[in-house]
Structure formats: C-alpha cells, structure tokens
Structure 1
C-alpha cells in the first residue's frame, strides 16, 4: 500500500514541477509529431520525385536498326517520355547528360540488333545523372535497370515466336551496364555507391547526436553539481579572472568531446559497419568500392571536415555551457539537455531527404549548424567549393559568437541570479 502512495506522490511532484512537465511530456510530444511528420512528408516527396524523374528517359541510338527501334517503342508504350539524342560526340557522355533534361540515358551500341537476331548476348549502356544524393535518387538507378528487365521479358515472347524456340534459349539476352555520372565523374557501380551514401546518412548522424549529447551533458551536469554544492559561486568569487574558470571548463569539455567522437567513430566504422560490409560485399570487391568512394570524394575535403567538426564541438559545448548557467541543479540541467537534443534529431537527418542539386539549397544547408556537418560529405562529392568553405567555417563563427555571449554574462553580476524557472515563494 505504501508503494502506491509514493507512486501517486511522484506523479503529483512531477505535475507540479514545470521543468519536468515541459521536458518529459510536452516537448517530447511536440517533437514526436514534428519529426514523424517531417520524415513522412519528406519520404512522400522523395517517392513522388523519383517517379517523376524516372518517367523521363533519353536514348542515344547508335545501332539504328530493328530491335533498337523496338526498344524505343517499348519505352514509349510504358508511358515514358522518351527523348532521342542525336550527336556524333558519343565519347563525351558527360556533355550529353548535361545537355538533356533527363536523369537516365540509354546508349544502344552498334550491332545491338545484329546480336539479338543471331541470339547472341548484347547490352545497353545505362547512365544515371547523380545530382541530389537523396534516397529517392538512388531508386532511379533501380528503376532504370527495371526497364531493361521488362524489355527482356517482352523480347522473350517476340523472339520465341519469331524463331520458334523455347523461351529459355533466349532468356536474358539483353543486359544492362549501369554507370552513374557525378560532377563529370563516372561511377562504375551507382547502386552500391548509393548504398554507401544511404548507410553514411543513417550512421553519421548517430555520431553527431552522441557527440552533442555527451558534450552537453558533460558541461551542464558538471556545472549543475557545482551549483548544488555551492562551489560554482565560490570559484567565481575568487580573485582570478572568471573567464579563466569558464574557459578551462569549456576547453576540457571541448577536448574530451573531440576524443570521444574520434573513438566512437572508429568503433562504429571498424567494428559495426566493417562487419556489415564483410557480409554484404565479397572480400575481393571491398578494395574496389573503397577506390570508387575515394575517386568520387576529392582529397582536399579532409581539412574542411576537420574544421567543421572542431567548429561543431566548439559550438555545442558553448551552447551547453550557456544553457547550464541557467540550471540551478542537476534535474534542471537534464531537462535543458533533453530540450536541446530533441530538435537536433531533425537537423542531423535533414540532408538525407533534401534535394541538394540547387545552389541556393546547398548554400542554406551549409550555414545550418549540425546539419552542415552531416551535409559536408555530400558537398564534397558534388565539388561545391564555396558551400564547402561556408560549411567548414560557419560552426566556428557560431561557437565564437556564443562564447562572446557567455563572456558578457560571466563578467556581469547577473550570472549569480540566472535561473530558468523561478518558483513563487509561498506566504508564511
């Protein structure tokens, strides 16, 4: 019986405490609807965009014979918008893709119809333009290959009737050699390339979120404990510079956060993702995929990434330090951390769903803290140097700006009176 009395007491205590009520119930509910609504709407838009873009294809017919014409007619009968490319510059696929308003280009080689007529294996070269680096764009590669598979089935019945042979003798006569085109570079296996991009889009945000959570808790809880024990006010009252005290806390938290992030990143990529790739990809192909990503990713991206990560750590530790000045106890500190980590979920997964082919979108995303850290590898792949510079220095600027605010608060007497909530004193 006494157990249930204490249960009721805890519920009443939580309901009376605005910090716990807002942090544990109100904010999570609001964030849940916002996050799920955002992900749902973004997913719908990605599907709609993929359907729209895969409905327009271009065909470069070098063969110009019976079965190449049949392939073009087949695509038209599927309800696709087919754009015929007329050019003599067949070798420069990059310039052709830049001229056409289509994501998919089929190149039918010379001898295509001859091989089919003689029941010989032949292939169509498929090129997919990679611009937005979203989940939806990755599905276009699969759809482009599916059109070839459907044509194979159609061709199966046609050849079986024409030649009077069983269907199994002409099954899969047309294959597809699919490549991606990213910033004038040819990606040999775009499907696996998008698999790596998608996996990175899922796991890199986890590293960022853990960095934010660890850094924020480290600073806020540490200061809250000192405030509970009345040590914080004592330290600030000593005949030394207050910024020396705050700066030391900021520096230690910053260094620990960086070390923690590096260790966690290595553990995640080596122990977890490394084992996943061992199962998914044959050992002899792993080096090939590493070369593919390295080929697509410019070597000069490393300084930009380091500057961005250092700036993010500085910014988040400064934010946590600023907010911790309002926390008078550990309970309040935990409530504050919960409220600032929640919205970060939206920011870290934002680049996964947004089409980044537009220059204005890239510029805006490169200026959004937290989101630009996740977004930076995509900027490197797209080789947008201006957005890369903005993404690498913006977090540092934000961190310095927050630090200036902290300095002004610490050097004033308001630091001793700052509180997030002030309870009304009950009359005696």
Structure 2
C-alpha cells in the first residue's frame, strides 16, 4: 500500500512539474469555468430583465365595449401594466396594428364577453404573443400572458359573485385564455410548447455536438500521439505512398466513429428525456413541419458534416505539434473549454433583432450549428444556407493547411525544433 501512495505522489508531482499539463488541467479549466458561469449568469439576468420589461406592456382590442371588458382593462392597469388600446374594425387588422407596437402581448376581448359573465356563462379572452427572440425569456412572456388572464379570472369570480350574491364556488371557471403565437407572418398554436422545444434544444443539442466534437478530436489526437511515441507516424510518412492517404484515413475513421457515437447518444438522451421529463410528450403535438423549411434536413446534415470535418481537422493540426499522448491531451484541453462556451452562448442571444445579426452568427462555427433550429423557425433561408456551408468551407481550409504541412518537410523540422528547445 505504501508503494501505491508513492506512485500517487509521483503522478501528482509529474503533473505539477509539467507546465503544459498544469495549464491545461488546472489553470485553463478554472478560467474557462469562471467565464462560462459569468456568461450563464449574465444571460439569465438578461432573460429575466427581458421578461419583466416586455411583459409590462400589453395591447388590448376590445370587441365587446361593455362593463366587464372595461373592468378587465382597468384590472390590467391596476397591475402596473402599460395598456395600449387598439382601435380597429376586425381581428386581422388589429393583429397587423399590434405587430407594429412595442407590446408583445395582445388581448382580444370577444363580443358578448360582458353578457356571458353577467349570465354566469364562461367566456374566452384570446391572447396573442409576438415571438422572435426564441429565448428562455420569451417563454416566460408566454406564461405571464396567460397568468394575467388567470389572475383576472380569480378577480372577476369574486366580483360577479358579490354582485349576484352567490358563493364564488358556484361560478366555477369564468374566463379562460386561448393563447397563440405570432412568428413572422404565421399564427402558431401552443407557443409555449414551441419555445419549450427550442429551449430544450438549446440545452441538449450542444451536448450532442460536444459528444461528436470531443470524442472525434480525442480519438484522432490520441491516435496521432501514440504513433508519434512509437515512431510509427514518421515511418508511415516516409513510405512511398501519398501522405494524405494516412491523414485522410485518420480523419474519416474518427468522424465515422464519432458520428456513430453521437447518433447512439442522441437516441439514448432524447429517449430518456421523453420518459422522465414532464412536458416532453406534448412536443409531439407541435406542427413543426409547418414551421420549418422543407429542406431543413439537408441544411442540418451539411452543417454537422462540415463541423465534424472542421473540428477533427483542428484537432489533427494541433496534434502535429504534440510529441506524446500527454502533450496532445494538454493541447486539446486548451481547445475544449472555448468550444463549450461557443456551443452554449446561443441560448441567450436574441436572433430577432436584425437579419445582419443572424447573418454574422451563421459564420461562427459551432455556434451556427446550435442556431440552426432558431434560424429555421424564423425561415431566414440566407442565414440557413450560410450556416450549412460555412463549416464545410472552414473544414476544407483546415484540410488544405494540414495537407500543405504534411506534404512538406515542415512537420519533421517542427518536431526537431520543439525537441531541441526542450533539450535546452
């Protein structure tokens, strides 16, 4: 047992004495986790502020014009909300006016609203919520819009019961809210489910992407490092064959195995979520086919394939600078942290601000893969096409850089220089 602890101390000392491992395993993760927690914290604060700010302004289109509809408007004002009254002749025109207002919540009070309440009959308030940011905060706005109706329902039950001189329990449910979402030029039922699906996608799609990226990168880097330790890599490059056959085989195998792992992980993850998380079953009722471009599958496939080629090529390029497995892992450790930040940052970004923002984000590798569902929902075909092709372009560029290095003697001289510096 004493021998065991001696080796434990020896391993700890070897890690501490090796600056590459110390930086990659301790310092860089601490810095990156601090940055990641800061980004998530600021993102959540921003989402809360967005929810409070945008749910504080509501628009009302009153088609009833009687006593109880005015009570509803006064009740909204009593909650501290800024209420904008829309004057229109029909619902379609009112919705068009609402699209140009700063409010994100529209309440349409139907005809006979007051008559139904005074007759102790249930009535409906139609609720429309403008969607566009497709962030966590926007999901909160949908819930708050329904919550205002629920609060007024409790209030009006007591009011009507007092007027009629009957117990409130006798009335039951006086008012219900029928909520819909306005996304671009489309009206979507169950907007909370749409936002929930995109929010869950923002949480779990990055996990799936990270499985592909990290697994493939670790595989190709470790394979390269092992061959370098055993001097097999130099031997293979010295053979009278095309050197890119060696590199291409490594890339293909790593991407293929990573893809198989990613697919299996995806089925396992979403299978678990559908069985264990309440609300996931309702996602099957979302008519996404009506909300997404018909060729979305092609865009996603091109994007993921391009991302895999790009990230594995980056890992392979970095592993060319490593001398052994330990240094290869240290180099990859410095890359994986920023990768995690890049895939989770899109959760808090509002893509509805302007097309130029969507266009700029579609050029960012990793982030554009996470953005694809949101870009597809808003049907920005230009940004969708760029997101799909940009990763392929980056992958081809990285592959050409690797090809130039491998087909020259730079790879050997670079290694010898590193070795000499280390010896000095």
410 and 424 in structure 1: CA distance in 2 versus 1, 3 angstrom threshold: closer
409 and 93 in structure 1: CA distance in 2 versus 1, 3 angstrom threshold: farther
- TM-score, normalised with respect to structure 1: 0.93
Partner-residue secondary structure (3-state), 1:91: helix
Which of residues 288, 292, 306 is equivalent to 2:285?
Answer: 288
28 and 306 in structure 1: CA distance in 2 versus 1, 3 angstrom threshold: same
Unaligned runs of 5+ in 1: none
What per-residue deviation string (whole Å, max 9, x for no partner) do you get for residues 70-120 of structure 1? 111111111111111111241356524322221100000000011111111
Instruction: Provide the residue aligned with 2:108 in structure 1.
Output: 107
Greater CA drift, 23-32 or 252-261: 252-261
Instruction: Provide the residue aligned with 2:240 in structure 1.
Output: 239
52 and 287 in structure 1: CA distance in 2 versus 1, 3 angstrom threshold: closer
User: 2:419 & 2:21 partners in 1: Cα distance?
Assistant: 14
User: 2:376 & 2:231 partners in 1: Cα distance?
Assistant: 48
4 and 274 in structure 1: CA distance in 2 versus 1, 3 angstrom threshold: closer
Instruction: Provide the residue aligned with 1:399 in structure 2.
Output: 395
- TM-score, normalised with respect to structure 2: 0.94
Instruction: Provide the residue aligned with 2:274 in structure 1.
Output: 274
Partner-residue secondary structure (3-state), 2:130: strand
CA RMSD for the aligned pairs? 2.0
User: 1:38 & 1:123 partners in 2: Cα distance?
Assistant: 41
Greater CA drift, 151-160 or 68-77: 151-160
User: 2:171 & 2:420 partners in 1: Cα distance?
Assistant: 82
> CA contact under 8 A between 2:211 and 2:258: conserved in structure 1?
no
Confirm whether residue 361 of structure 1 aligns to residue 373 of structure 2: no
Give the aligned length. 421
Which of residues 384, 389, 394 is equivalent to 1:388?
Answer: 384
> CA contact under 8 A between 1:55 and 1:80: conserved in structure 2?
yes
104 and 184 in structure 1: CA distance in 2 versus 1, 3 angstrom threshold: same
> CA contact under 8 A between 1:94 and 1:181: conserved in structure 2?
no
> CA contact under 8 A between 1:23 and 1:338: conserved in structure 2?
yes
Q: Which runs of 4+ in 1 moved over 6 A?
A: none
Confirm whether residue 307 of structure 1 aligns to residue 291 of structure 2: no
What per-residue deviation string (whole Å, max 9, x for no partner) do you get for residues 161-198 of structure 1? 21111111234311101111112222211122222222
Unaligned runs of 5+ in 2: none
What per-residue deviation string (whole Å, max 9, x for no partner) do you get for residues 31-84 of structure 1? 110000000001001100110000011001111111111111111111111111
Instruction: Provide the residue aligned with 1:297 in structure 2.
Output: 292
User: 1:37 & 1:194 partners in 2: Cα distance?
Assistant: 24
What per-residue deviation string (whole Å, max 9, x for no partner) do you get for residues 245-304 of structure 1? 2122222323333333333323333x3233246x6466xx66533xx2222222221111
User: 2:348 & 2:335 partners in 1: Cα distance?
Assistant: 22
> CA contact under 8 A between 1:376 and 1:391: conserved in structure 2?
yes
